[in-house]
Amino acid sequence: MQLSCNNVSHALAPLRRIALRVVFLACAFLPCGLAAPARAQGRAYFVAYDHHMEEPGALELSFNPALGVPKDGNKFLGAWMEFEYGATGWWTSEFYLDGQTTWNESTLFTGYRWENRFRPLLREHWINPVLYLEYEDVNEADKTIKDVVGFDSGRDLEPNDEARHEREREIELKLILSSNFKGWNLSENFIAAKNLAGEAWEFGYAVAVARPLTLAASAEDCTLCAENFRLGLELYGGLGDWHHFTLSETSHYLAPVVAWDLPSGVTLRFSPGFGLTSESHRALIRFGVSYEIAGFGPRLARMFR
Amino acid sequence: MRRTSPTCTLLATLAILCGLSAGQSDNSQPPSLDPALARAPAVAATWINPYAGQDNAARAGRKLFERHCAECHGQSGQGSERAPRLAKASVHNAPPGVLFWFVKNGALKEGMPAWSRLPDQRLWQIVTYLQTMTPEESAKTSP
């Protein structure tokens, strides 16, 4: 009986994978019928946050796969689907669905995250703080590596079959400090995360800088022109935990970023990241495609009036 | 010797940085301006638009306006239920620096986003375009 159940389970595995993808895509494109697209530009970074909030009522859809090349173990593709909504001018809320596929292992949905960013100062300053609060419910097989905290390591990765049974419910706090100067954006993120199972607070950081290739826009619409490209650099890693606030035995990554804002409203991003310490993965190659729908909230509300 | 916890050090540093960032002056404009624009500091009225009168900049500004602003303010600035009309005398005649400040800072409580994500040069191009909008034309298309 056990054998036959296993056989059925194996036979259904490809179907499950397809169903997962269909749900993922449906979640991604269902809202597209509700509103007209806008051509605002999202942030260039994958890991760090700046102080720019989503426009009120706008919904940004973003799909971000990350190809991981560990020093030992199987390659993996972690991905998150992001729904970013501008609740007000000073409050942005984001919901994430995470999944991953590991070479020679399996493909699985790993959990969800819900984050909120609040901008306490309503005007531009030299340094603009943003407060970030996140709740995540993922299993240990999650490989999106959206940020690095504590002693997160690329070593000794557990196989999916074992890791998927261990749930991690965490809250994460960030203080985001961001400045704009002569077209440059410089952002520093200080991260504190706590596993609600009673583990110690873990710390991490992300620092990023980015700039458009040209600052002024041209008079004509163009696709492959310098004004549509932004280049940046991200540095992020763990800082140990409450008991050992340290850089040693922690993972750190340096990742150039390029973002391309297409006239159609789609933003494409690419970032080859490189592990800097023995605990880091060898490489994390990230891709991102995002699309913003302006006025999504008001149009949705109108449908229910 | 008593050790300071890393969290305390972090929080203290952040509190200082937030305090520094909040400590800027906030002189308001004279009340003759549109109430929204009157929030700009007085010094903004002295800022000079580097693209003033440049046709190319106005065209670039129009492109940026259509990309970032038209969804709420309408294709020709006629306004909508979500955002006010821009093609009006109080915008046309406002000091360019005040418009620049307003577009850059937004009015987050009222739902106008801050466009500081765009470089200053592009904001000035938008301002250049805004000031080419004639109030008469807009009045014809206004809802």
Query: Is A126 a residue whose pLDDT tops 50?
Result: yes
Average pLDDT, chain B: 80
Measured between alpha carbons, how far is B126 from B118 in angstroms, rounded to an integer?
10
**Tokens read off for A187:** 């952002």
**What is the three-class DSSP state of A157?**
coil
* Chain B positions in Cβ-Cβ contact with residue A175 (cut-off 8 Å): 10, 14
Supply the DSSP symbol for A249: T
Orientation of helix B96-105 relative to helix B120-130, angle to 10°:
120
- Which candidate from A126, A192, A212 shows the least CB-CB separation from B21? A126
Residue type, A124: E
Mean pLDDT across B108-133: 94
Query: Is A17 a residue whose pLDDT tops 60?
Result: no
Task: Classify residue B28 by burial, with Cβ atoms within 10 Å: 0-12, 13-18, 19+.
Answer: exposed
Measured between alpha carbons, how far is A10 from A243 in angstroms, rounded to an integer?
44
Query: Is A10 a residue whose pLDDT tops 80?
Result: no
What proportion of chain B, given as a percentage, has pLDDT over 90?
Answer: 48
What is the pLDDT, as a whole number, of residue A22?
Answer: 45
What proportion of chain A, given as a percentage, has pLDDT over 90?
Answer: 76
Q: Tell me what ipTM this predicted complex has.
A: 0.83
Mean pLDDT across B128-142: 71
**Which range (A96-105, A147-156, A257-266) has the least confidence?**
A147-156
Measured between alpha carbons, how far is B20 from A126 in angstroms, rounded to an integer?
9
**CA-CA distances (angstroms) from residue A195 to A78, A151, A200?**
21, 13, 7
* Chain B positions in Cβ-Cβ contact with residue A119 (cut-off 8 Å): 108
Measured between alpha carbons, how far is A206 from A181 in angstroms, rounded to an integer?
19
Supply the DSSP symbol for A234: E
Query: Is A166 a residue whose pLDDT tops 70?
Result: yes
* Chain B positions in Cβ-Cβ contact with residue A184 (cut-off 8 Å): none
What is the pLDDT, as a whole number, of residue A253?
Answer: 97
Query: Is A303 a residue whose pLDDT tops 60?
Result: yes
Task: Classify residue A287 by burial, with Cβ atoms within 10 Å: 0-12, 13-18, 19+.
Answer: middle
Q: Where are the strands (E) in chain A, listed by range?
A: 59-69, 76-88, 91-102, 107-118, 128-139, 167-181, 184-195, 202-212, 229-241, 252-261, 266-275, 283-293
Measured between alpha carbons, how far is B115 from A124 in angstroms, rounded to an integer?
10
A27 φ/ψ angles, rounded to the nearest 5 degrees: -60, -35
A169-191, pLDDT tens digit by residue? 999 999 999 999 999 999 999 99
**CA-CA distances (angstroms) from residue B14 to A128, A130, A174, A274, B97?**
11, 11, 11, 29, 31
* Chain A positions in Cβ-Cβ contact with residue B72 (cut-off 8 Å): 294-295
Split at pLDDT 50, 70, 90, the class of B5 is: low
**Record: contact B20-A212, CB cut-off 8 A:** no
pTM over 0.90: no
User: Does B64 touch chain A if contact means CB atoms closer than 8 Å?
Assistant: yes
Q: For residue B85, list its beta bridge partners.
A: none
CA of B49, closest CA in chain A: separation in Å?
A: 13
Place of tokens 């990765």: A157
B38-91, pLDDT tens digit by residue? 889 999 999 999 999 999 999 999 999 999 999 899 988 988 888 999 988 888
Mean pLDDT across B105-113: 91
Cα dihedral A263/A266/A270/A271 (nearest 10): 110
Split at pLDDT 50, 70, 90, the class of B22 is: very low
Q: Which of residues 1-40 of B touch A (CB under 8 A)?
A: 5-7, 10, 14, 17-18, 20-22, 24, 26
A54-64, pLDDT tens digit by residue? 999 999 999 99
Mean pLDDT across A26-42: 52
What is the pLDDT, as a whole number, of residue A58?
Answer: 93
Q: Are B133 and A73 in contact (CB under 8 A)?
A: no
- Which candidate from A55, A128, A221 shows the least CB-CB separation from B21? A128
Higher pLDDT, A27 or A196: A196
Q: For residue A203, list its beta bridge partners.
A: A192
* Chain A positions in Cβ-Cβ contact with residue B105 (cut-off 8 Å): 122-124
User: Which CB contacts under 8 angstroms, 24+ apart, belong to A265-270?
Assistant: A265/A37, A265/A38, A265/A39, A265/A291, A265/A292, A266/A290, A266/A291, A267/A41, A267/A42, A267/A291, A269/A44, A269/A46, A269/A64
**Record: contact B114-A216, CB cut-off 8 A:** no
What proportion of chain A, given as a percentage, has pLDDT over 70?
Answer: 86
Higher pLDDT, A6 or B99: B99
Split at pLDDT 50, 70, 90, the class of A279 is: very high
What is the pLDDT, as a whole number, of residue A36?
Answer: 52
Split at pLDDT 50, 70, 90, the class of B21 is: very low
Supply the DSSP symbol for A245: B
Please name the residue of chain B whose CA is at the shortest distance from the CA of residue A42: B117
Query: Is B138 a residue whose pLDDT tops 60?
Result: no
Split at pLDDT 50, 70, 90, the class of A217 is: very high
* Chain B positions in Cβ-Cβ contact with residue A298 (cut-off 8 Å): 82
Measured between alpha carbons, how far is A291 from A293 in angstroms, rounded to an integer?
7
